[in-house]
Amino acid sequence: MSQIDTLTEELKKTIIESDEYKEFLRLSEIIDKYPDIKRAVDDYRRENFFFQYSDDVDDVMSATQDLAKRYEDVKKQPFVEQYLRAEMCVCRMIQGICMNIVGAVDFNVDFLYDEF
């Protein structure tokens, strides 16, 4: 096994053993016990993801506020808000790891931004 493979395995293990990830899993188990709430939360997550990463949304802030308003009742459930915060925390942790790695290597991706 190469050093990169070994370190990747260590990193995966460290993430899985982190308090942030454990909290996310704990809250996921709670959400899973309520199928209607889980479905609504997943719908919210799906739409939110679309707004954040789509070029088809003109005003992301307005769309996000509208989304929050439409799912206000679901988000009033304390464990739902905790779950969404825990998910964000794990996502930011992984995003930070990725950005750290990408920032450290000289890998030119300027071609992605050239217009056709």
| pLDDT tens-digit readout, 63-74 | 888 888 999 999
What's the domain range around 51? 3-104
Q: Name the DSSP class of 76.
A: T
The structural domain count of the chain equals 1
Domain-located, residue 116: no
Q: What is the pLDDT of residue 115?
A: 64
Domain-located, residue 111: no
Domain-located, residue 113: no
Domain-located, residue 115: no
Q: Is the pTM of this model over 0.85?
A: no
What are the residue ranges of helices labelled H in the chain? 3-16, 19-32, 35-53, 60-70, 72-75, 78-104
Residue 43: pLDDT band by 50, 70, 90 thresholds?
very high
